[in-house]
Amino acid sequence: MKRVVMKFGGSSVATTEKIKSVAQVILNRKKTCDQVIVVVSAMGKTTDNLISMAEELSENPSLREMDLLMSTGEMISASLLAIHFQSLGTDSIALTGFQAGVKTIGNHKKSKIDSIDSKKLEEELEKGKIVIVTGFQGINESGDITTLGRGGSDTSAVALAAVLNAECEIYTDVTGIYTVDPRVRKNAKKIDQLTYEETMEMANLGAKVIEPRSVEMAEKFSVPLYIALNTGDVVGTYISEVDNLEKNVITNISKKDDVLLVIINESFDTPSKITECFKNLAANDVNIDLISHARDKEGNQISSFTTDLSSKAVVREILEEMKMDFNFLESLSKVSLIGSAMRNQVGVAARAFDILHKEKFNFYEVSTSEISISYIVDEKNGNELVNAFADEFDL
């Protein structure tokens, strides 16, 4: 029996007209699939609007109540979709995360899925219904609704697919995953197939097509992923364990803007204060990205790291409280070359550095993994560097 989980984001269900269009895509898919589970996000900017209303009423709203409030957005879209199906004579049911058996652990606003009791889902699927589940949410051991944080609906969809032994299809407002962001490079090429590893690297390095946790979960449970346009009539990108041995050495070039480079100058015999610094940053949910650390002959240490520009105020407060000597560099971008074939081919870094030299691009940091090279550059040069790399690697 073939099952599929179809996930639709907020832009896909932003209006009742779009909900009608999504319903038709689902009905077309059901013609080739025995059972369909649908996961939906909140309509359009609903979540942002709910947060704004809460902030108008309180400067520091309770995280528990915020989770309860934000979860209503997905309930609205799931209910409306089910209502429309029923008006068409199609048997369907909308379920909250709690009703679908999604159990969570961890803190409010950033909880994780611990397990899914699929009994209710199985019962409704056996009745031939299209089952619509609210993404982004579940219920913890205290009986409170919790939300999964950024990209939580993607995570919900993959988790349900894993438990139900189904494929997972994520429908967005783009036709798949591209070699380069089409907004940066007009003739960017769509990628037919990617590995989990490449997709996760892309997501972590700035590509916004899918949430990294979702890819990690899909790989762990061998859930086939498919990213496609929400109209359902254009072939998208398949993500699995299978790798194409003949593909380009570079699969994708990602760019992340609003990067903050933090430079710390300290003269200590031991790195204890730097260690304390990173512990304090972690305790305040500051996401650290690239890190470098060096010591000169006199024992002076120069440490640097990158983080999101939005964390600037928190980082400043922590470093000032620790009386550390630091400075910030802003208006930066991270440009990354990604490709699983890099681990078996030499010369990629040489070609990349040659482009930087020829085009006279300054870079502040460089970081590598087995399948990626990332450069921190001035934001004003980010798009130009992406296109220069794309020309060099035929993307």
Give the span between the Cα atoms of 43 and 149, in whole angstroms. 16
Max CA pair span of the chain: 78
CB atoms within 10 A of CB 60: 6
pLDDT of res. 31: 94
Co-location of 281 and 151 in the same domain:
no
Co-location of 127 and 259 in the same domain:
no
Residue 146 located in a structural domain: yes
Q: Which amino acid is at 257?
A: D
- Total domains in the chain come to 2
Dihedral (Cα; 318, 322, 326, 328), 10-degree rounding: 10
End position of a domain, from candidates 128, 156, 173: 173
pLDDT of res. 246: 57
Nearest Cα neighbor of 339 from 194, 177, 238, 175 is 194
Co-location of 144 and 269 in the same domain:
no
Dihedral (Cα; 280, 283, 284, 289), 10-degree rounding: 80
Co-location of 13 and 140 in the same domain:
yes
**CATH classification of the domain holding 382:** 3.30.2130.10
Strands 130-134 and 92-95: parallel
Co-location of 120 and 261 in the same domain:
no
Nearest Cα neighbor of 9 from 228, 236, 235 is 228
Nearest Cα neighbor of 333 from 312, 309, 349, 316 is 309
Give the span between the Cα atoms of 237 and 235, in whole angstroms. 7
Co-location of 158 and 260 in the same domain:
no
Residue 16 located in a structural domain: yes
Do 125 and 35 contact (CB within 8 A), yes or no? yes
Q: What is the pLDDT along the chain (395 residues), one digit of tens a residue?
A: 799 999 999 999 999 999 999 999 999 999 999 999 999 999 999 999 999 999 999 999 999 999 999 999 999 999 999 999 999 999 999 999 999 999 999 989 989 999 999 999 999 999 999 999 999 999 999 999 999 988 899 999 999 999 999 999 999 988 899 999 988 998 999 999 999 999 999 988 887 778 889 999 999 999 999 999 998 888 899 998 876 655 688 999 999 999 999 998 876 555 677 788 889 999 998 989 888 877 766 666 778 899 999 999 999 999 999 988 899 999 999 999 999 888 888 889 999 999 999 989 999 999 999 999 999 999 999 999 999 999 999 99
Co-location of 168 and 263 in the same domain:
no
- Could you tell me the pTM of the whole model? 0.88
pLDDT of res. 247: 66
Tokens for 190, please give them.
């769509």
DSSP state of 179: S
Co-location of 271 and 123 in the same domain:
no
Do 225 and 215 contact (CB within 8 A), yes or no? yes
DSSP state of 129: P
Co-location of 142 and 269 in the same domain:
no
pLDDT of res. 389: 96
Helices (H), the chain: 16-30, 46-57, 63-87, 119-126, 152-164, 196-204, 212-220, 272-283, 312-321, 348-358, 382-392
Task: Print the domain residue range for 77.
Answer: 3-173
Do 171 and 12 contact (CB within 8 A), yes or no? yes
Phi, then psi, of 123 in degrees rounded to 5: -60, -45
**CATH classification of the domain holding 23:** 3.40.1160.10
Edge to edge, the sheet with strand 225-229 lists 92-95, 130-134, 35-40, 3-8, 167-172, 225-229, 237-240, 193-195
pLDDT of res. 208: 77
Do 151 and 178 contact (CB within 8 A), yes or no? no
Do 3 and 165 contact (CB within 8 A), yes or no? yes
Tokens for 197, please give them.
């590893």
End position of a domain, from candidates 173, 196, 224: 173
Co-location of 19 and 135 in the same domain:
yes
Chain centroid to CA 372: how far?
18
Residue 240 located in a structural domain: no
Give the span between the Cα atoms of 341 and 332, in whole angstroms. 28
Residue 211 located in a structural domain: no
Residue 82 located in a structural domain: yes
Residue 303 located in a structural domain: yes
Co-location of 261 and 372 in the same domain:
yes
End position of a domain, from candidates 135, 152, 173: 173
CB-facing half-sphere around the CA of 294: CA atoms within 13 A = 7
Residue 223 located in a structural domain: no
Residue 44 located in a structural domain: yes
Co-location of 34 and 162 in the same domain:
yes
Do 40 and 81 contact (CB within 8 A), yes or no? yes
